[in-house]
Structure 1
Amino acid sequence: MTPRKHGLARGLTNYGDPDFAIYLRKSFAKSMGYSSEMLDRPIVGIAYTPSGFNNCHRNFPEMLEAVKRGVLAAGALPLEFPTISLGEVFLSPTSLKFRNLMAMDTEEMIRAQPMDAVVLMGGCDKTVPAQLMGAVSADLPAIQLVAGPMMTGRHGPERLGACTDCRRFWAQFRAGTVSAEEIERIEGKLATTTGTCAVMGTATTMACIAETLGMMLPGTAAIPAVHADRLRAAEATGIAAARLIEAPIRPSQIVTRASVGNALRVLLAIGGSTNAIIHLTAIAGRAGIEVPLDWLNELSDTTPVLVDLKPTGSYYAEDFFAAGAMGAVLRELSPLLDHDCLTVTGETLGDRLARDPGWHDPAIIRPAASPVSDKGGLVALFGSLAPRGAILKRSAADASLFETTARAVVFSSLEDLAARIDDPDLDVSPGDILVLQNAGPKSASGMPEAGYLPIPKKLAAQGVKDMIRISDARMSGTAFGTIVLHVAPEAAEGGPLALVRTGDLIEMSVARNRLELLVSEEDLAARRREWEAARPAAAARRGYDRLYAEEVLQADQGCDFATFRATGMTDR
């Protein structure tokens, strides 16, 4: 007999006898109670990522049943398989460090196991980019399904949504305007349902990007986690995955330079997370597509901010869904988008827009003619302090600080920051620039969301709510403030950020996309001779920690591993 080339016959274990391999595989599959008829069907794998350490994915068991229902209805066999799950706030030192590990897990399990298509069930911040990175590299027909955002809670008359409001109240607590008793009450009201953060944080941003790329069913990015439509979307995703087997469409046909350009436009228009530029760069890199930061600036200058969601606006993710969600955003951006991009449905973006119903709430998703801002939410800054670029989320920043020359107050590490930021004797004033070093991808901390440096307590008590803060770290998509991030090269690599000292002058000009360290070349050369890397040598590490230290790239290359980028891409 000749083994089939779909379903259980894919990727046979090599015993030197293919007939025996399929015979043995079917016999073991039958031990799980499957009939011969079921085992003859094509297989939809389901990358399944629930975890007791991931509150965002609490709705996955119910969603899984809906996906399976759809796959079976379409004539295929659904088989779920576990991979690593990344619960954002439960990981140390930071979830980004393990994104690449999850991407490896996803890619290898797609390759190693017999499936004809795969549903990627993710949601929490790093899970969606990890799954998309792995799927692009494996290049099997794949479709993304997300958990959906959680619903808001209530504290007195206020709506609360994790975690923008948690940061707002924590700042008030540090300033002494919220009591310890009240902050404890608020703690239980910030995240009251399953799902991802209820604002335009990284999770919602990445869901919107996945839908824009064409890797997700139209209209499914923003459905709340507890909404019945979320289960209907799961069922429809199962059906669509089975149909991908009949007429295969691979990620390499969907993730193209044109679709990445569309995704960048959407990122800018929704006021999305700064993390997303790292993730989109990494996803694109798996497909051999460079995403230089000057491309981001080129698009940002001509892309309006349309979405009025926290942390940059007034509304929440459930409002975004009710207001028309991604369909409305794509319609308003339509003249700026490439309509020929293919999607997992087999249609193009243009096909989708042609049949879209067209209603939306202009208070939440603004018309392109009257945007929240006429320039995109993110901007890249370059200069002597950031030769390869840094990122500012200008839609979440104080525009009065955009053109500033001021004195640096430097913290050499996260430990130094924690030890001194609230010292009453700290030499700092509201007009200074706070600088954090050694928090980038190569550092011992693994590039945490520490760029949201707290306002020194003595200044917070005076009513100071924002200052320029510069680092090689990241910032949560739920955060806000005039915060410059992802400085490349990072301090741990000996980039100019490592050479900054308290008292140096730094110039930031958003109008000119500049970030300059105003120190003479002679002084910088002398400091460079004295510099020593503040991180353990890769050879002194073990396991994944060592692999990470040896392989991770800088922020402008998506913090992916050099080994996993497409062949032929340069690693600066």
Structure 2
Amino acid sequence: MSKEKKLRSQEWFGGDDKMGFVHRSWLRNQGYPDDYFEGKPVIGICNTWSELTPCNGHLGDVAEIVKRGILEAGGFPLEFPVMSLGETIMRPTTMLFRNLASMDVEESIRANPLDGIVLLTGCDKTTPSTIMGACSVNLPTIVVPGGPMLNGRFRGGTIGSGSFNWMIKEKQKTEEFDAEDMREAEICAARSIGHCNTMGTASTMATMSEALGLTLPGFSSIPAADSRKKVMQQLSGRRIVEMVNEDLTLSKILTRKAFENAIVTNAAVGGSTNLIIHLIAIARRIGVDIKLEDFDTIGSHIPLLVNLMPSGKYLMEDFFYAGGLPVVMKELGDLLHQDIITANGKTFKENYVKAKCYDNEVIAKIDKPLQENAGIAVLKGNLCENGSVIKPSAATLKLMNHTGRAVVFESMEDYHERIDHPDLDIDENCVIVLKGVGPKGYPGMPEVGNVDLPEKLILKGVKDMIRISDGRMSGTAYGTVVLHISPESTIGGTLAIVQNGDMITLDVENRLLQLNISDEEITKRKSEWQAPEPMATRGYVRIYLDHVEGADVGADLDVLVGGSGSKVDRDLH
């Protein structure tokens, strides 16, 4: 940082007037000595710890280690809590509250005497929400990902947290998987601190943070329980003080090229479709133009290199032992922008030049990939004028070009009521259509797009069917599932007027999702369609419904897109 540039925190602590007295005096009840207020960079530790968020339950301990690094580097650490989002417990979905948590982060940073920020993240929405909030203030910021759980072990085999969830109904119906089996599997699936150990959304977002350049290199894949995670936490504390001194703000790291790197990396690791919504939202907060189509044009032709559930066999612990994300970044080589700056002040090429692979079963060579063209495919057509997405690496090849009869469920309640009814007119060639689960619809856009198959088809041995919706699916899930249909059904998108018996064509190669009825019939049905009543009349949910944008542009609130803040803060910063 240049000598001319004054620390932001000194606007609070540096004065000899009444307000300087006030700002210092109350903090002195914590026992801080004089020199803490005399020009030390004040580092805010944004902690998403909560006992209601199991994946983040260890972040209280992480904060103490980060503080140690900050103190060693001459900084003044101040930890603050923000809303924590635990996907496994919160209802109706944490996605409803991602934007609210980002507001909490933004305003907590903006309102306080902070020069740099450490984001402690874990469960999947805590990563994008904190980054989105920090982007809106644009201070030097580093991400400390909480890390994945250790591999689950169940009766001699490996069990992936999250991915195993989607097998339970089938096991109950075909393998006599009873309550005792369930309890044992529950314990085995989550046997250590940390977030999901598959390449689900939590691991994807941690990987994305590193691919964007927001973490120290190699940080994202280390298991939460590994002592090497603690080393990186302490080093991150040291590094954020240096970033403040260098004035290395988020906008200097999060360039268009950084976002392109994240898109490419996500394809190579078989990452979650949820990355799309979160990455677009982050880009729009920092002022970078990333569109839904970029995920196809930039990422769809990238080969799959990482053999992890749900697209493969292994888990995050195996990924780390094989060399982790540094190996993937090195293997991708010139497919990435290697010359751009990262949080440690070095370029991607400098960070990963010495990476070595120790298991090519887990991380494949780029000339012998696990799958060609594995990135997210963006579909268009009359059923999704603004786009929809599918994850080819988790889909069934024979269903990627298929025309089938629609079996329509108007809501999740309708689905639960009828899906297992023996008289339901459905076979494996049908297309399951689920409405009312988009950003406004549920509300919040839950992870229900990969709905379970009907019991009678499971008993026949059917493993996959085409399922389409305006919702999301867990990054731990798999199947031939079309997601994020936009415009969503709740606001009158074409999905709203699909009827039982309509024929629907999915053609992934040609990027098409088409309702096979005439334009005249579509117009007629839309003219007869009636919008549902609002899901809420007060509180945050009402604000959310009034301001949330479509999935194709990140499902952020329109009032949060772009830089914001009061004139006084702009003058300070």
TM-score, normalised on structure 2? 0.95
1:563 alignment partner in structure 2: 559
Matches within 5 A, 1:231-246: 231-246=230-245
Q: Write out aligned runs for 1:172-571 (5 A).
A: 172-175=171-174, 177-354=176-353, 356-536=354-534, 541-566=537-562
Structure 1 residues 186-195 or 420-429, which shifts more? 186-195
Q: CA RMSD in A?
A: 1.7
- In 1, are the aligned partners of 2:65 and 2:234 still within 8 Å (CA)? yes
Post-superposition offset of 1:44: 0.8
Q: Partner letter of residue 27 of structure 1?
A: S
Q: CA deviation at 1:65?
A: 1.3
Shift of 1:38: 2.4
Q: Distance in 2 between matches of 1:267 and 1:107?
A: 26
Q: CA deviation at 1:523?
A: 1.4
In the alignment, the residues of structure 1 paired with residue 24 and residue 119 of structure 2 have an alpha-carbon distance, to the nearest angstrom, of 25
* Counterpart residue number, 2:11: 10
Alpha-carbon shift at residue 12 of structure 1 (Å): 7.3
User: Could you list the runs of 5+ residues in structure 2 that have no partner in the other structure?
Assistant: 565-573
Q: Distance in 2 between matches of 1:535 and 1:331?
A: 52
- Tell me the residue number matched to 1:90: 89
* Aligned residues of 2:13 and 2:37 also touching (Cα < 8 A): no
Q: C-alpha deviations, 1:199-221, integer Å up to 9, x for none? A: 00001101111101111111100
**Residue 5 of structure 1, CA deviation:** 4.0
| 1:54-89 superposed Cα distances (whole Å, 9 cap, x missing partner) | 111122122111101100000111110010010111
- Distance across 2 between alignment mates of 1:116 and 1:384: 49
The gaps in structure 1 that reach 5 residues or longer are: none
Aligned partner letter, 1:558: G
SS in 1 for 2:168: helix
Q: In structure 2, how many angstroms separate the alpha carbons of the residues matched to 1:305 and 1:230?
A: 26
What per-residue deviation string (whole Å, max 9, x for no partner) do you get for residues 236-266 of structure 1? 0100011112111111111111110010000
How much does 1:524 deviate?
A: 1.3
Q: Helix, strand or coil: the match of 2:457? A: helix
Partners of 2:519 and 2:220 lie apart in 1 by: 49
* Maintained 8 Å contact 1:173/1:180: no
Is this contact kept in 1: 2:12–2:23, CA < 8 A? no
The question of whether the paired residues in 2 share the 8 Å contact of 1:166 and 1:190 is answered with no
Distance in 1, matches of 2:319 and 2:41, equals 37
Equivalences, count: 559
Q: What are the residue-to-residue correspondences of 1:28-177 with 2, within 5 Å? A: 28-40=26-38, 41-175=40-174, 177=176
Q: Which amino acid aligns with 2:556?
A: D
- Following superposition, the deviation at residue 154 of structure 1 comes to 1.9
Give SS of 2:77's match: strand
In structure 2, what is the Cα distance between the partners aligned to 1:24 and 1:266? 48
Q: CA deviation at 1:192?
A: 1.4
Whole-angstrom distance in 2 between the partners of 1:446 and 1:54: 18
Change (3 A) 1:27 1:554: same
Distance 2:98 2:526 in 1: 32
Q: Is this contact kept in 2: 1:340–1:350, CA < 8 A?
A: yes
Q: 1:388 to 1:504 in 2, by over 3 A?
A: same
Q: Distance in 2 between matches of 1:279 and 1:248?
A: 26
Are the structure 2 counterparts of residues 414 and 11 from structure 1 closer, same or farther at C-alpha, using a change threshold of 3 Å?
A: farther
Q: Which amino acid counterpart does residue 448 of structure 1 have in structure 2?
A: P
Partner of 2:490, secondary structure, is: helix
Which amino acid counterpart does residue 323 of structure 1 have in structure 2?
Answer: A
1:14-55 Cα distance to aligned partner (Å, 9 max, x none): xxx972111111111111111112232221110011111011
One-letter amino acid of the structure 1 residue matched with residue 560 of structure 2 = F
Q: Are the equivalent residues in 1 in contact too, given 2:301–2:375 (CA < 8 A)?
A: no
Change (3 A) 1:416 1:103: same
Offset from partner CA, 1:69-118 (integer Å, 9 cap, x none): 10000011111001001011111110001000111111111111111101
Maintained 8 Å contact 1:379/1:392: yes
Q: Is the 8 A contact 2:12 2:20 kept in 1?
A: no
Q: What is the rounded CA distance, in whole Å, between the counterparts of 1:146 and 1:442 in structure 2? A: 30
Cα distance in 2 for partners of 1:18, 1:463 equals 76
What letter matches 1:384 in structure 2?
N
CA distance, structure 2, for counterparts of residue 472 and residue 385 of structure 1: 11
Which one-letter code corresponds to 2:196 in the other structure? Answer: C
Aligned-pair CA distance for 1:289? 2.1
Kept after mapping to 1: 8 A contact 2:286/2:563:
no
Task: Tell me which amino acid in the other structure corresponds to 1:281.
Answer: I
Aligned residues of 1:306 and 1:367 also touching (Cα < 8 A): yes
Measure, in 2, the Cα distance between the counterparts of 1:353 and 1:71: 25
SS of the aligned residue for 2:46 comes to strand
Deviates more, 1:327-336 or 1:297-306: 297-306
Which residue type is aligned with residue 52 of structure 1? Answer: E
Query: 1:153-186 CA distances to partner (integer Å, 9 max, x unpaired)?
Result: 2221112121102222333214454233322322
TM superposition shift of 1:6: 2.8
1:481 aligns to what SS in structure 2? coil
Q: 1:123-162: per-residue Cα shift (whole Å, max 9, x none)?
A: 1110000011111111010000011000122221112121
Q: Secondary structure of the residue that 2:117 maps to in structure 1?
A: strand
Output the CA distance in 2 between the equivalents of 1:409 and 1:357. Answer: 49
Helix, strand or coil: the match of 1:30?
A: helix
SS at match of 1:66: helix
Mapped to 1, the partners of 2:247 and 2:400 lie a distance apart of: 48
Contact 2:217 2:352 in 1 (8 A): no
The letter of the residue matching 1:271 is: G
**2: CA distance, partners of 1:445 / 1:455:** 23
Work out the CA distance in 2 between the residues paired with 1:10 and 1:177: 66
Secondary structure at 2:387 match in 1? strand
Report the CA distance shift for 1:331/1:535 in structure 2 as closer, same or farther (over 3 A). farther
SS at match of 2:189: coil
